[in-house]
Amino acid sequence: MKTEASPTMNTHHAVCSIIPPYILDHMSQSNDAKVRRVAIEAIEQSAAARAVRRAMTMMAGFAAVPSPGAKRHRLVYDVENGGFAQLPGTLVRSEGDPKSEDPAVNEAYSGAGTTYNFYKRLFGRNSLDDRGMTLISSVHLGQKLNNAFWTGDQMCYGDGDGRIFIRFTKSLDVVGHELTHGVVSHTCNLEYQNESGALNEHLADVFGSLVKQWQRRQTVKKANWLIGADIMGPETSAKSLRTFTEDKAYENDALLGTDPQPKHLKNKYKGTADNGGVHINSGIPNHAFYLVAMELGGKAWEKAGRIWYKTMLKLTTTSQFTDMVETTSESAATLYGNGSLEYKAVAMAWKAVGF
């Protein structure tokens, strides 16, 4: 039987979730029976999500639901704690509807709108597919589910167990991250394994963070450069799922363990877990982006973000880290000039992480 990490498996459209498998695996070994139970539930739902995503690949032409008038269109559904078989659930809020009494509904609606506006206003991109794709979200997936997913045609959010994680709609960078997986699938469509998969996760982290920074109008120095800080529950000491800085997001946490992300090529993970380290090795290009943004200063979406967006449009399904290095340099030269401060900042950052 082939495993998810098998190099011969078609991971082109593997399911994208915000909680890495290594966190769920660590939780499943906990001495706390409740922690083990919610971890196993999340692992099972991840398997169900993979089945949904595989089905989407068989009918790709239907995955992008067009919107009325090819403009911003959001639909939020309530799965009412059902599983993937119940997707999308009951429609509870459509584009232009007043606020719901359910905060998860409002957060999913608002987060999708902010992400749409970010791509439209900064890059002229009309939704994930650049053709006005409807942004579909389903909330209250599963029972206290510790995860959020991009299935290939919609967003799905768990409520969290209230201890380790809280509701996943609460974090705008999580929403932006998962929706950016949709942008990636409609642009470079990076295969979800090994280095190309790490670049897929990297781009989702970069633009998820930029969506949050843009919404808050934060400069590079005011931004916290964390992914998932707003979903961390009261019983973990972890400050976030990941961090772009040289630090670890968590270390020796009783529930989550230690953040395994490297920040330098010499420490790259070379095993087969996590689809060849897609959530792990994304830490290397993540840190490079952070170094570029800090070197250029100001607001990260204005220059570093433009370079990375242009790069996303140029990459291919099998692009590797070296392709990312080369293409970001080309994009910086095209946008700002060969030898410009921006070009030098990109070169400096990649050198700092081992290229």
**Candidates 178, 191, 295, 342; catalytic one:** 178
Nearest to 209 by CA among 304, 295, 297, 334: 304
Based on the residue annotation, tell me whether 235 is a catalytic residue of this protein.
no
CA 141 to CA 143: how far, in whole Å?
Answer: 7
Q: Phi and psi (nearest 5°) for 74?
A: -115, 140
Q: Are 39 and 27 in contact (CB under 8 A)?
A: yes
Considering 140, 181, 202, 279, which one is annotated as catalytic?
279
Q: Both tokens of residue 346?
A: 């990109």
Q: In angstroms, rounded to a whole number, what is the distance separating the alpha carbons of residues 37 and 205?
A: 28
- β strands within the chain, DSSP E: 16-17, 74-78, 90-94, 135-139, 148-150, 155-157, 226-227, 242-243
Instruction: Provide the 8-state DSSP code for 97.
Output: P
**Strand-strand pairing, 148-150 and 16-17:** antiparallel
Q: How many CA atoms lie within 13 A of 176 on its CB side?
A: 25
12 tagged catalytic: no
**Closest Cα partner for 225 from 239, 209, 211?**
209
3-state class of 138 per DSSP?
Answer: strand
Among 339, 342, 337, 333, which residue's Cα sits nearest to residue 303? 342
Q: Which residues are catalytic?
A: 178, 279
